[in-house]
Structure 1
C-alpha cells in the first residue's frame, strides 16, 4: 500500500501525537525531503524518538525509509502529471480533460479498494444475504447510491426499502428486527439525524453499514461495518465525481458477491420481467 494512503487509512487509530505527525506528512509530503527526523520533531514540538517510532509502527525500518518511500510516491504522482501535460498539446483540450478525469477515478477506486479489505466486503455481503429487510438511506447526493443499491437488492430478491427522508425512515425502522441491515450513505458522516438513526437501529439489534469518506466521523463510529471512500482532488468540482465513482465501485463489488447460486437466477428472472414491462413485444 502506498505510504500516504497507509497513513490516511490508519490515522483514526493513531494517538494524538501520531496524528500530528501524520497530518504534517500528508500536508507537506512534497517538502519532506528537506526535513530530517530532528527537524520534523522540532517543527511539531515533539521528541525525535516519537518520529522514529511512528515510522516503525507503519512498517518502515526508520524515518529515512519512510521519507524515501513518500518521496518516491510523490515523484510518481508528479511524473504522471508531467506525462499528461506533455501529451496535452497533442490532443484536443476536451480529450485531455476527459483523460485527467478518468485517471482520477481509477486512482480513487484503487485507493478505496486498498482501504476496504476483501474480508469486510464478504462480511457485508453475508449480512445482506441473511437480512430480513435492508433499509437504504441517503440524503442529497447520497440518496443516489442508496436508491441504486435498493433497486439492485430488490432485483436479487431481497426486501430492500429506500428512503431519502429522515422522518419517514424513523417511523420505518420501528419495525426493524434482529438481523435487519441499515445501509446509510453520508459522505462526511456528520449529519446528527443520521447518527441518531444509526444508534436507534442498533437498539433494535439491527446491523449498520455506513459509507463515508475515510475520515474520523460519528457515523463511522456508530457502524458495525464501515465502508471508507478515498477521493482527493484539488479541483472542488472534480472531487465529488471521484467520490461518487469510488462509492459505485464499492457497491458493484458487493453486488457481484451477492450474485451467487439462487440469487443470480432470481436476478435473471426479474430482469426478464422488467424487460417485458418496458417492451411487451419482446
Structure 2
C-alpha cells in the first residue's frame, strides 16, 4: 500500500484562516485534478488574483513562499485514473484518502512528546461531545487496559465540573473535529490555567488554540471529500488513538503487554466472551 505526500491536508486545516481571495486559491488546489503550468504567473492569471496573494497564501500554509509550496504540491502530483463507481468503491476510496491525509498530517515527534506527557501524568482525562465523545470512550478503554489512569467524559456538565479538580500533574485531551465545541475548549482553558498539560485533536488549525493548548494534533477533515458524508467522523480520531497507543506501548512494551494480558484474563474469569 502506497501513501502519497500531499499538501492538501495542510491547506484544509488552515482553511478558516484564509481571506476570501485565499480561499479561492485554496479551493483551486484542493479540487484540481489536472497537471498544468503551476507557475505563479499562470495560476494568478487563471484565478484572477495577484502573485502576491499566492505568496501570502503559501506562507499561511507554513511555507517560505509560493515556490516552495508549489514544489511540494507538484512533486508527487497524482492524477486519479479511475472514477469512483459503486457504493463499496466510494467508501473504500474515501477511507484510503483519509489514510493518506493522516499520513501527511501526523508528526511522529509530536506523537512521542504527547506519549511522554501521558507517561508522566498522574491522571489523564479525555473529553468530547457526540461522535467525538464516543471516540473518547474508546480511547479510555484502550489505555486503561495498559495501566493508564484515564477517564473519558462526553457530557457537558461533567466536562465543566472536572475542570475544578485538575492540577499540574494532569493531562487533558480535548477532541473536537470542528474546534468549536464550547465545553471542550472550556476544559482545555481551565486545565491550562491550572498548569495541566493540554492536547487538542481537531481538523481546524486556529491561532487562538496556541494560547491554551500545549499540543494541537491535526486530524484529516471530512468536509472537502466529495463523499465524506458516508464516513463516520469517529474514524480520524480512532486512527490517531491507534497511533498514540502504538507509540505509548513501544516505550515499555514488555510491561504494558503484561498489563494488557492481565486485563484479558480478568475478563475471561467472568465467563463472558472476550472482545
Q: TM-score, normalised by structure 2?
A: 0.78
Kept in 1: contact 2:140–2:150 (CA 8 A): yes
Whether the aligned pair in 2 keeps the contact of 1:157 and 1:266 (CA below 8 Å) is yes
Mapped contact 1:194–1:219 kept (Cα < 8 A): no
Gaps of 5+ in 2: none
1:269 corresponding residue in structure 2: 262
Name whichever structure is richer in helix by fraction.
1
Distance 1:59 1:125, change over 3 A: farther
Q: Following TM superposition, by how much is the alpha carbon of 1:99 offset from its aligned partner in structure 2, in angstroms? A: 3.2
Q: Comparing both chains, which one has the higher relative contact order based on Cα–Cα distances under 8 Å and sequence gaps of 6 or more? A: 2
* Structure 2 contact 123–149 (Cα < 8 Å) conserved: yes
Which position in structure 2 is the counterpart of 1:4? 8
Asked whether the equivalents of residues 159 and 183 of structure 2 are also in contact (C-alpha less than 8 Å), the reply is no
Greater Rg by CA: 1
Larger mean Cα displacement after TM superposition, 18-27 or 221-230: 18-27
Task: State the shift of 1:37 in Å.
Answer: 3.5
Compute the RMSD of aligned alpha carbons: 3.5
Match of 1:224? 214
Q: Residue 211 of structure 1: CA displacement?
A: 1.4
Deviations 1:44-84 (A, max 9, x none): 66543553684983684696x678558x43x2x3x132xx5
Q: CA deviation at 1:190?
A: 0.6
Displacement, 1:194? 2.0
Q: Deviations over 1:177-222 (max 9, x none)?
A: 2131111111101122322221101111111111111443755763
Change (3 A) 1:222 1:43: farther
The offset of 1:248, in angstroms, is 1.3
Q: C-alpha distance in 1, partners of 2:131/2:18?
A: 33
1:167-246 alignment, distance < 5 Å: 167-216=157-206, 222-232=212-222, 233-235=225-227, 237-238=229-230, 240-241=231-232, 243-246=233-236
2:104 matches 1:101: no
- The residue aligned with 1:80 is 82
Matches within 5 A, 1:16-165: 19-20=22-23, 22-26=25-29, 29-30=32-33, 33=36, 37-38=40-41, 40-41=43-44, 46-51=49-54, 54=58, 57=64, 60=67, 72-73=77-78, 75=79, 77=80, 79-81=81-83, 85=85, 96-165=86-155
Q: How many residues align?
A: 260
Q: Deviations over 1:77-113 (max 9, x none)?
A: 3x132xx54xxxxxxxxxx422331221122022112
- What SS is found at the alignment partner of 1:184? strand
State the alpha-carbon separation in 1 of the partners of residues 142 and 176 from structure 2: 19
- d(CA) in 2 for partners of 1:279, 1:198: 38
Taking a change above 3 Å as real, the CA distance of residues 51 and 164 of structure 1, as seen in their structure-2 partners, is: closer
For residues 100 and 17 of structure 1, do their structure 2 counterparts lie closer, same or farther at Cα, with a shift above 3 Å needed?
A: closer
